[in-house]
Structure 1
Amino acid sequence: MWAADHVVAPTPGFAITIPETANEFAIKGNHLTLVKGNQFDGRNKTDPHKHIHEFLGIYDMFKYRDTENEVARLIMFPLSLTGEAKTWLDELNEGTIKTWDELRTAFISRFFPPALFDRLLGEIQAFSQHEKKSLTDDWLCMKEMLQNCHGHNLSKGNIIKIFYHGLSEITQEVLNAAAGGIFLFKTPNQAYQLLEDKVLLKLDWAKSQKTKSFLKKTVAFTDEGSNNSNTDKIMARMDAMTLKMDA
């Protein structure tokens, strides 16, 4: 009786409508492997914009005929999703998505909603210097925040003002000294470049520190068992050079 009376629910259809031209070509196997190796799971800290960018980067590595470009994207993109993101796509109504633009818009809207954008923008506008971080580290942190807040539309001038006013008074004075005057009197491009130059300077300094450490170890190893006085002289010279480089 159960078999006779029970109604079997129909299998849900697919949210993405694949054009009939999909039957006219095949997706390359190694292409699918790369796509599956770079999956998006929809967790809080995952960036849907970055995933789209990386997906298209992988897609562009393989060439399909122009008329099939969109079809190939529609077929492969679901394979780049896993976890919560895959569940989201599976739960969409049948035939909801017919084009790549519709798929991209729906994906971004779900995993980068307005509330998340507002929160990220608010964090940028409320920026304040971390007491244990250097000026360079804080600038790198600001750039990362800007990169994560897609579509913030903040001009360089506004970014510079937000960053400067979020610094401590001591750090502001350091930045003014580096600018040879009031930092905010610089043009946005000049101020931005000054901060970028400080980042490059710190990176170069870090590399020089590693080089000096390596040279000291090399000298010590080379002169092991030899005249210690010669080694001491070399090390003393290197220490003197280190002081000059640090200054």
Structure 2
Amino acid sequence: MANNRTMAQMLQARIEGYEDAIVVLPINANNFELKQTLINLVQSNQFTGKQDPHNHLRFFNKVTSTFRHPEVPNTSIKLLLFPFSLEGEARTWLDKEPPRSILTWDDLVSKFINQFFPPSKTTYLRNKITTFYQEPNETFNEAWERFKELLRQCPHHGFSELHQLDTFYNSLNTNDQDALDSAAGGNFLDKIPRDGLAIIESKSKVRYSRSRAIEPRASTNAPLSTSTPSNSFEFQQQNGYSNEPIRKDDL
């Protein structure tokens, strides 16, 4: 078919391609609107691309969970609000995503995490976890809190509960390993993971004076399990994630 547009018309800027990356299904609910107070709350802690993206999602999930409508899925509310939670580099990233390329909340979370928490960072933190050791003059409680912080920073680390407990136990100096064995009534690693975790948590609540660190003993336990990872001593909440970890209160 012949194109009868004039050259001036054909040289005009195109008007297509300005749709948003995020697709939100039509909302037909009566009396639905996003309150300005909710938008302001989301904007009070905007993500610029420099902070921890997991922390941002935790805050965002907590805020959006306070607003519910019986006829509107919570995921639709999240999709509508999420752009308001970004600024600077992060907002530029979203604006550059292809139009209509984000169809669900899971799509958005996946793209967001992979953009601001690349695989190289995951590898780095996984290595920090597997090579963890108790530092000289570091108390048991300090070492345990630091180890949990590494796990929190990389909630998708994939390490089983067995792997986590084994790594922490074998990172400790001899005195603290002996204390765990004593609390376990024998070899700490003979306990089931749930009981081992309870022993560690109980010991971490006791104040200990600093003492000279002793080199960790070599591991003598059996090879680590290759079973499906369990995140039962994760303590952050990630509503909206797939593979949601257990909350701190479950420890």
TM-score greater than 0.5 by the shorter chain:
yes
Distance 1:35 1:100, change over 3 A: same
Name the residue aligned to 2:230: none
Name the residue aligned to 1:17: 23
Name the residue aligned to 1:82: 87
Cα deviation, 1:13-39, whole Å, max 9, x if unaligned, reads 422234343897321111111111122
Cα pair 1:97 1:103 within 8 Å, conserved: yes
Cα pair 1:22 1:71 within 8 Å, conserved: no
The code of the aligned residue for 1:114 comes to P
Distance 1:178 1:19, change over 3 A: closer
Q: Secondary structure at the match of 1:202?
A: coil
Q: Radius of gyration: which is bigger?
A: 1
Name the residue aligned to 1:42: 49
Counterparts of 2:155 and 2:197, CA distance in 1: 19
Structure with the higher helix share, 1 or 2: 1
Counterparts of 2:188 and 2:123, CA distance in 1: 29
Cα pair 2:42 2:63 within 8 Å, conserved: yes
TM-score by length of 2: 0.69
Name the residue aligned to 2:113: 108
Name the residue aligned to 1:72: 77
Distance 1:189 1:138, change over 3 A: same
Counterparts of 2:73 and 2:133, CA distance in 1: 49
Structure 2 unaligned spans of 5+: 1-10, 210-251
Counterparts of 2:95 and 2:28, CA distance in 1: 20
Q: How many residue pairs are counted as aligned between the two chains?
A: 200
Q: Secondary structure at the match of 2:207?
A: helix
The code of the aligned residue for 1:145 comes to L
TM-score by length of 1: 0.70
Pair 1:172 & 2:177 matched: yes
Name the residue aligned to 2:228: none
Shifted more, 194-203 versus 82-91: the winner is: 194-203
Structure 1 unaligned spans of 5+: 1-5, 206-247
Counterparts of 2:179 and 2:164, CA distance in 1: 19
Say which structure, 1 or 2, has more relative contact order (CA 8 Å, 6+ apart).
2
RMSD across aligned C-alpha pairs, in angstroms?
A: 2.9
Task: Note the C-alpha offset of 1:12.
Answer: 4.5
Counterparts of 1:117 and 1:22, CA distance in 2: 41
Cα pair 1:120 1:145 within 8 Å, conserved: yes
Pair 1:29 & 2:48 matched: no
Distance 1:65 1:20, change over 3 A: same
Name the residue aligned to 1:136: 141
